[in-house]
Each structure stands twice: as C-alpha cells, then as structure tokens.
Amino acid sequence: MTLTLRAIERLRLVNMKIAFVGKGGSGKTTLSSLFIRHLAATGAPVVAIDADINQHLGAALGLEEATAAALPAMGERLPVIKDYLRGSNQRIASVETMIKTTPPGEGSRLLRLNENNPVYDACARPVELDGGTVRLMVTGPFTEADLGVACYHSKTGAVELCLNHLVDGRSEYAVVDMTAGSDSFASGLFTRFDITFLVAEPTRKGVSVYRQYKEYARDFGVVLKVVGNKVQGQDDIDFLRAEVGDDLLVTVGHSDWVRAMEKGRPPRFELLEDSNRRALRTLQTAADATYELRDWERYTHQMVHFHLKNAGSWGNAKTGADLAAQVDPGFVLGEGLVATA
Ligand SMILES: Nc1ncnc2c1ncn2[C@@H]1O[C@H](COP(=O)(O)OP(=O)(O)OP(=O)(O)O)[C@@H](O)[C@H]1O
Ligand SMILES: [Mg+2]
C-alpha cells in the first residue's frame, strides 16, 4: 500500500504521549504499569513501550518471565521500522541513511496507535489486562555499549523514530517507561511527550534527578510533573513539596497490591487501593489537560532541531550523506494529516 499525506480539516483528537522517568529503582516501571492498567480499564487504546535500561515492563504487566524475554526487540528491528516509515519519501535516499532523528516528510508513512501496520506486526505484542488489551513494544535489553552513546545503534532510537511518525487518534495513549539518561537528552527523545512524569522517592537523590531533568527541559517546553513514590507520611510530602514546589502532582504510598503482584499473585486490578486509583486518575487528568498546549509546529521544529544536531555531530560522518537534506521544509506533523491509500 502506498500512502501519501493529505491535509484535511483539523479534527479534535486526544492522543497523549506520556513518559515515566526517574532515578533507578524509583518506581518508573511500577507506576507506568499501573497507569497502563488504569487506561486499559477505561477502554482506551494503549501502546506501552519499555525503553528502560532494565526491561521489566512486560513482567509488571503480568507476563511470565519467559514470555517477556521472548518479546521482539525494537532495537533489532530497526531496518523494518525504517523501511516502513520511509515510505516513498524522496528526501531519504535509503534505509541506511535514515537515522533515529530523521523526520517525516512528504511520502513518509505515519503511525496511528489504533491500527495494524508492519511496525506493530514486527515489534508489538498484545498483552491482556483486566478490562482491556494493550500493545506492548520493548527496545530490548541495553548493553554496556548502549549507555551514554548518542549514536546510530542506540536502543531508544527506534522509539524516537516511532514517536516522530506518530499521529493521533481519539483518546489514545502511548506510555513509555524510560530512563532519564543522556541518550534521550542528546537525541531529543525527552521532548517527544505531551507530559513527562518524573517518579521521585522523597530523597535527595530522587529530587536531584528531577533538577537535572528540569534543567535540560527548560528550553523545550517540556511539561514535567513529579509523582512522589514510596511516600510514607506528611513529612515525605512536605519534603517533596519543598524541593519541587508546584511540580509535585501527586504522591503514591506503599501499595500492598503491588507487593502481591511482586510475589506472583496479582490481584484483580479493581482491588488496587482507593488512594492509588485516585492517583492514577490524577495522572490521566493531568495528561489530558496538556492537550490544550499542543503545538505541532513546535513539535516538528524540535524534531528538525535535534536532527540537524545529530547530523552534525555524528550522523553525516556515519552515513556519508548530508542528512540536513532530509528535512522537508514544508512539512508539519499534525492531527490534520491523514494517510490515504
Ligand atoms: N508504590 C509502591 N508500592 C510497593 N512497592 C513498590 C512501589 N513502587 C515501587 N515498588 C517496588 O520497588 C521496586 C522498584 O520499582 P520499579 O522496578 O518500578 O522501579 P524502576 O524505577 O522501574 O527501577 P529500574 O530503574 O530498575 O527500572 C520494585 O520491587 C517495585 O515493586
Ligand atoms: Mg524499571
């Protein structure tokens, strides 16, 4: 199927791209998985993406270890992803010259959350949860060589490519469990979300990751909200409030439901503690509220900014091509774009 892009009248659609970041062990995977379960229970289409160094999202969504370990790794399927997204885009000479920041343009294929396409066929697997089925995609395990590299082989590159080619359907959610690593800052991945939930324990280390993130995010209009986790009382809440101010969105305490799941005895999701259910609703409300801040021109502009940066720092040298020429100056990603056969 050959797809071309055609602008139609702007539709009012709500699709949210949401990241969970934070210090190792803070509870990113746990809170991502609870949020994914919550969204699935509302009946919304959800694509869950594990882009964390420690690949545990599948297990947190209830997959057996062997099933989780056998999930297809996006990092190993980059040629399929690139070949599909490139479509008939004349500005991208070959799959080999398509890097993780190569932006879509005329002729590119776009992804929708609630469709079937070769990228999902290759990389996504359905996971059945109480009340709904989500698609799960995983980057694959990180090796020593992946950490801190801003390069061609980066595991999160596949995620960035997909997000940069994603257009939106009604009330759909992409939820990404990821690290607050240098990789996502160098590439621009951290700017690809409508809202970023920074999971922080009430500790100095927890909030120092927040400060670093806030600093990177400052110039890019990133909406950053702190979710306090493993909070035990008012003193913990006061600490977080004093350290992060109004960026503190909500706090979550110790959950027996989570602990039971960790013991391999997952209760039904409807049995999650009331306070934690409320916290999940708060996350969804905050995510949905960012819809009004949507700015597709800025979103596309940032893609181009990071592409040119990556092209100059390593991409041109690596591919032997002038990657700046991949930018389609007339193209703006957006909800008014539809792919037509
Ligand atoms: N609110 C909670 N209640 C009970 N246990 C929790 C809670 N949050 C996290 N945990 C537990 O803390 C541990 C670390 O959580 P999790 O794996 O979600 O953190 P992470 O930030 O994803 O870590 P990593 O950096 O290793 O990926 C897990 O054993 C998890 O079950
Ligand atoms: Mg994790």
* CB-based contacts of 212-219 (< 8 A; 24+ apart in sequence): 212/180, 213/21, 213/180, 214/247, 216/185, 216/190, 217/190, 217/191
CA–CA separation, 118 and 126 (whole Å)? 15
Q: Between the CA of residue 15 and those of 45, 173, 246, 334, what are the distances in Å?
A: 10, 6, 25, 11
The four Cα atoms 276, 282, 288, 291 give a dihedral, to 10 degrees, of -140
Q: Distance between CA atoms of 178 and 267, rounded to whole angstroms?
A: 26
Instruction: Please state the domain extents for the chain.
Output: 17-334
Contact 81, 119 (CB under 8 A): yes
Collapsing DSSP to helix, strand or coil, 133 comes out as strand
Cα(301) to ligand 2 centroid in Å equals 31
Q: Compute CA distances 165 → 141, 162, 275, 276, 295, whole Å.
A: 23, 5, 36, 33, 15
Query: Residue 232 has which token pair?
Result: 């035990």
DSSP states of 85-110 as a string? HHTT-TT---GGG--TTPPP-TT---
Query: If you measure from the C-alpha of residue 8 to the centroid of ligand 2, how many angstroms do you get, rounded to a whole number?
Result: 40
Distance CA 202, CA 232 (A): 9
Ligand 1 pocket by C-beta < 6 Å: which residues? 22, 24-30, 52, 54, 56, 229-230, 252, 254-255, 258-259, 262
Q: So what's the pLDDT on residue 182?
A: 63
CB atoms within 10 A of CB 88: 12
Task: Tell me what pLDDT residue 169 has.
Answer: 62
Element containing residue 325 per DSSP (H, E): none
Query: Which pLDDT score is estimated for 187?
Result: 80
Kindly tell me the burial class for residue 13, based on how many C-beta atoms sit within 10 Å of its own C-beta (0-12, 13-18, 19 or more): middle
What is the CATH code for 17-334?
3.40.50.300
Q: How many residues does the chain have?
A: 341
Question: In terms of Cα–Cα distance, which of 338, 293, 304 is closest to 111?
Answer: 338
**DSSP conformation class of 323:** G
Give the ligand 1 atom nearest the CA of 31.
Answer: 18
Which residue, judged by its Cα, is nearest atom 29 of ligand 1? 262
* Helical segments of 63-153, H only: 65-69, 78-86, 118-123
Measured CA to CA in angstroms, residue 90 lies from 310, 315, 319 at distances of 20, 18, 17
Q: Euclidean distance between the first and final Cα of the chain, in Å?
A: 6
Find the 87 Cα to ligand 2 centroid distance in Å: 34
Helix axes 78-86, 157-164, angle to 10 degrees: 20
Ligand that comes closest to the CA of residue 180: 1
Ligand 2 mean position to 129 CA, how many Å?
19
Per-10-residue mean pLDDT, the chain, length 341:
35 73 93 97 94 92 94 93 97 95 96 93 96 93 59 75 85 89 77 95 94 91 96 97 98 96 89 96 94 87 95 93 96 67 34
* pLDDT at 186 (0 to 100): 75
User: In the numeric block, which tokens belong to residue 142?
Assistant: 């990180």
Q: How far is the CA of 31 from the centre of ligand 1 (A)?
A: 8
**Considering only CA atoms, which residue is closest to atom 27 of ligand 1?**
54
Ligand index nearest the alpha carbon of residue 56: 2
Q: Which pLDDT score is estimated for 7?
A: 33
List Cα–Cα distances, 191 to 44, 87, 142, 179, in angstroms. Answer: 24, 25, 21, 14
